A and B are shown apart, each in its own frame.
Chain A
């Protein structure tokens, strides 16, 4: 018995014509069921590439991904992705966007009425039930991201993959969404792999923080376990010693690596 989600010696090399870039090297990571893992690293180190490999949207050059005992190498609803730029379909309403996913995943197993109420249930989960008939162009960035999360949750994925889900949001909206994600994680116990640029976000949300070295040939530099009890409250943590230590560790890692690259 291995881990629930296993990234096994993943290598990725992009080849364009005669030029080839080795982006990821020997990335190995085990994630337990229900765990919240963040990946942090400098821009361009290959975080999105890694997430896309797990999602099956990009193929690995070597190594593989094992989810719940099976190797996965093509995209599927068991690994739902929340994209950085929400990527809702603009010609569908909020409800229809989620419903499309629900219909696709549960068409064989649930009745029409069940799918309808499941769609509404997931919209309510992210507090977007009130805007269900609006189109993406009519709602704010934070709301779109909520709908993106609802769509992903509605697929009942084995793993939820978040690619900088709050990156494009203002600080207040971001904080509010982080709280929503924490609540959902507490309630449903999802296994979550999240990419972030934000040290505070990583420490606040994660059970473990995976810190990646700079590319090319990025590796996992360090893995930090965040031993903070849940539920976590943002303001309590400001003075919490464990929180501050974790934060310092991540900052130090990023800072030192960054300097290392500049010197090189």
Chain B
């Protein structure tokens, strides 16, 4: 009998709290010494990640300079772009009224449209996705429709949208909305359909009401899928806004590019493209980061 008690109690700390003694003994000793080393290692890691792309970019720019410096080249070399478009590069914040603004203002206008259209798409998309993920009937009814509509190219919606709203601004927002919503709906629906029966059982035993079930089980359980959809959606939104703005005009990076083309300012176009690329990249990373933060527990198991 004593044996039992002792054995089980020996088993207990070993099974229940192996980390505690180990952490206390191991951590303080090596903690102080390698503070500098740690920084060095960190710098090395950063260098390893930054230097290769930097070298590649330098090489490509040099190549571009060489190829486009020849007389009669149709595109300007980097040196000419820097010279001719210097104001655009150096001061993104100037504003001389009308459309004569720095790139920051154009990007901001585009981002505002994306923000409105994309937010609407996110809310409606998650709601519709939940509906068709949860209800077999809704899925059977809506899925074929969605599968067809999602293949319609974003710009094909623009004329219809303009006809409906009679104004460029809401029409552009609608194009963003309709472009971003499909991947959000479809991924959310898949996520909801994949919620393990166990979680549904837990909810049933606890008698969660539909709203609690939606907020506390469905959304967190489907979050990894939802964020996949949101990430695809933001990329598509950014693609669509540039094209839509070229057609609707006004302040916005898309029209800026179109305008530069009409004025034969090829250098300006290239500078704007770099901005567009960077902003698209940042948008993608923001959604990815939010997703990683929100789903930190879910994905691990």
Contacts and interface: CB of A to CB of B under 8 A. Distances in A.
A77 interface: yes
Contact of A104 (B15, B207, B220, B300): B207
A92 B221 CA distance: 11
A235 to B, nearest CB: 4
A136 B301 contact: yes
Interface stretch (B3-11, B169-177, B247-255, B280-288): B3-11
Interface stretch (B27-35, B64-72, B195-203): B195-203
A55 interface: yes
Contacts of B16: 127, 130, 142-143
B17 A57 contact: no
A79 B205 contact: yes
A87 B202 contact: yes
Given A137-B300, A172-B15, A89 B220 contact: yes
Contact of B297 (A55, A92, A100, A104): A92
B199 A236 contact: no
Interface string A35-55: 000000000000000000001
B217 interface: yes
Contact of A173 (B1, B15, B221): B15
Interface string B210-236: 001000110011010000000000000
A212 interface: no
B237 to A, nearest CB: 27
A77 B207 contact: yes
A193 to B, nearest CB: 14
A81 B1 contact: no
A57 B217 CA distance: 17
Nearest to B202: A87
B1 A236 contact: yes
The listed residue with most A CB atoms (<10 A of its CB), out of B199, B201, B202, is B202
In the complex, which range does the number of interface residues on chain B fall in? 20 to 34
Given A91-B295, A130-B17, A175-B11, A104 B206 contact: yes
Nearest to B3: A235
Contacts, number: 91
A189 interface: no
Given A57-B204, A79-B205, A83-B198, A100 B300 contact: no
A11 to B, nearest CB: 22
A132 interface: no
Interface in B261-301: 295-298, 300-301
Interface in B29-51: none
A77 B205 contact: yes
Decide if the interface of chain B is mainly helix, strand, loop or mixed: helix
Interface string A65-78: 00000000011110
Interface string A104-119: 1100000000000000
A162 interface: no
A55 B221 CA distance: 23
Contacts of A80: 205
Nearest to A179: B8
A91 B20 CA distance: 24
B80 interface: no
Nearest to B198: A87
Nearest to B219: A91
27 contacts: A55-B201, A56-B204, A76-B205, A77-B207, A81-B205, A85-B198, A87-B202, A89-B217, A89-B221, A90-B298, A91-B221, A91-B295, A100-B206, A100-B216, A104-B206, A105-B206, A130-B16, A130-B17, A137-B297, A142-B15, A155-B206, A173-B15, A175-B8, A175-B11, A233-B4, A235-B4, A236-B1
Interface of A: 55-57, 74-77, 79-81, 83, 85, 87, 89-92, 100-101, 104-105, 127, 130, 135-137, 140, 142-143, 155, 172-173, 175-176, 179, 233-236
Given A173-B11, A175-B8, 18 more contacts: A76-B205, A77-B207, A79-B205, A81-B201, A81-B205, A83-B201, A83-B202, A87-B198, A89-B217, A89-B220, A91-B221, A91-B295, A105-B206, A135-B297, A137-B297, A173-B15, A176-B8, A235-B1
